[in-house]
Structure 1
C-alpha cells in the first residue's frame, strides 16, 4: 500500500502551522529583546537569583551556542542558556532564563510529570528514529508478500510512534508548569516592571504553543498511520 496523497497533505498542513507559530515566536522574541530591564540584570543573573531564591545550590548556569537552544539538563544539573539569553538584559532573556530555572525547580521538588518525561527520554530517542521506517517497511512488505509479517512489523512501528506521541503530550504540562513558576517568581519578587512582565508572559505563551503544535502533529501522524495499517487489513 502506498503512502497516499493524504499523508502529504497532513504533513504539509502540520509543517505550515508549525512554521507560522515558530515564525511568530521569533518575531515576539525579537520584539521583546528590545525591552530593556529596569533592573539591568542579565539572563545569567536572573537565573542564578531564581535558583538561589528557591534554595537550589547545586545547579550551574552555563552558556551554550545557538539561538533558542536553551534547556535544563537534569542529568548534570545545568541550566543551559543560549548566548543571547545568557548575556542580554531584556524581557525576552529574563523570560527564557526564568523558564529554564522553572525546570530546575521542578527537578528539585520531584515534579511528577518531569520525572515521567525524564524516564521516557532514552526509549523515545530510539523509538522516534525507528518508528516511521518500521511502519513504512511493514506496509511495503505486507503489500509485497501478504499482510502476515509485514503487518506486525508495522504494528511494532506504530507502538513506538505512539510512545513518542505520548511523550509529546507529557511535555505539555512540564512546559506550562515551568512557565507558570517562572512568571510567578518574576512577579512575586518584583523582578520586572508591568510592561516587562507582560512581555515575558507573551513570549512564554508563544514558546509553549510550539509544543502544542508538535503534540497535535504527532497525534495526527499517529492516527494517519494507524488508519493505514488497520484499514489495510480489511
Structure 2
C-alpha cells in the first residue's frame, strides 16, 4: 500500500510542526520590536547570567549563521547569538540569550538528560543518516535483517529527539527564572518571554512526534510483513 494508516497522524504532526515554526518566527519578529525596560542587549544578559553562575570561561560570540541560529557549543564552551539577539535590547533577544545560557548552565552542572543526550548523539547521527537508506533497501529487497537494522538505528535517532525535549524545556525554565530573579524582565514583559520560548519548545515537540510516528509506522509495516 502506498498510503499507510499512520500517515494521517504523520501529516497532522507535520502540520503542527509547520504551524509551530511560523509561531517561532512571528513571535520573534513581534517581540524583537518590543524594547526591554532593562535596556540591556542579549550579549549583556548572557554575560551577566554566565558570570552569576561562575562560568567566566564560557564566551559569548556573534553567530555567523544568520537569524535564529542561536546555540550553545559544549565542545568549545561558547554561547553563540545571532545578530538580532546579540546586539539588541528587546524582549525576544533577552529571552533567547537566557535560554542558550540555560544550556551552558546545564552543561556546567552535569544535567543528567543533557549528558544522556550527548551519549546518544554519535549513534543518533549515524541513525538519522543511514536508517532511511537501509529501510528503503530492506523494504524493496524484502530483506528483514536489513529492515531490522534500519529500525534499530532509527530508534536511536528518535530517542535522541525525545531526550531533547526535557533538555529544551529545562533550559527555558532556567531562562525565565534567571530573567525574573535578576530583574531583567518586568511583569508586563513576562507574556512576551513566555510566548517566545514556548513557541520554540513546541517545534521540538512536533519534531519528536513526527519521528516517533514514523518509527511506529516502520515497525507496523515490518511486523505486518513478517506475519
TM category, shorter: over 0.9
DSSP-derived class of the 2:226 partner: coil
Per the alignment, residue 182 of structure 2 pairs with 189
Deviation at 1:8, TM superposition (A): 5.4
Where 1:80 maps in the other structure, the secondary structure is strand
> Partner residue of 1:226?
219
Equivalent residues in 2 for 1:155-194 (5 A)?
A: 155-194=148-187
Give TM-score, length-normalised by structure 1. Answer: 0.92
Partner residue, 2:119: 119
Gapped regions of structure 1 (runs ≥ 5): 143-149
Displacement, 1:207?
Answer: 0.6
Distance (whole Å) between structure 2 residues aligned to residue 182 and residue 124 of structure 1 = 27
CA distance in 1, matches of 2:9, 2:111: 35
Pairwise mapping of residues 67-106 of structure 1 onto structure 2 (< 5 A)?
Answer: 67-106=67-106
Q: Is the 8 A contact 2:134 2:149 kept in 1?
A: yes
The count of residues paired between Structure 1 and Structure 2 equals: 225
Structure 2 residue 34 is the aligned partner of structure 1 residue 35: yes
Partner of 2:48: 49
RMSD: 1.3
- Equivalent residue number for residue 199 of structure 1: 192
1:63 aligns with 2:62: yes
CA contact (8 A) 1:10 1:221 kept: no
Take 2:133 and 2:127, find their aligned partners in 1: how far apart are those partners? 10
Shift, 1:122, TM fit: 1.7
For residue 5 of structure 1, what is the aligned residue in structure 2? 3
Higher relative contact order (CA 8 A, sep 6+): 2
What's the offset of the Cα at 1:197?
2.4
| Alpha-carbon contact 1:186-1:197 (below 8 Å) kept | no
Paired with 1:188 and 1:107, the residues of 2 have a C-alpha distance of 21
CA distance in 1, matches of 2:177, 2:38: 17
What is the distance in 1 between the residues matched to 2:165 and 2:8?
Answer: 25
Offset, 1:136: 1.4
Q: Deviations over 1:18-61 (max 9, x none)?
A: 11111112111111111101121111111000001111111111
TM value normalised by structure 2: 0.95
Runs of 4+ in 1 over 6 A off after TM superposition: none
Partner of 1:21: 20
Spell out, residue by residue over 1:54-83, the C-alpha distance to the aligned partner (whole angstroms, 9 max, x if none): 111111111113121111111000101111
Q: Distance in 1 between matches of 2:11 and 2:204?
A: 18
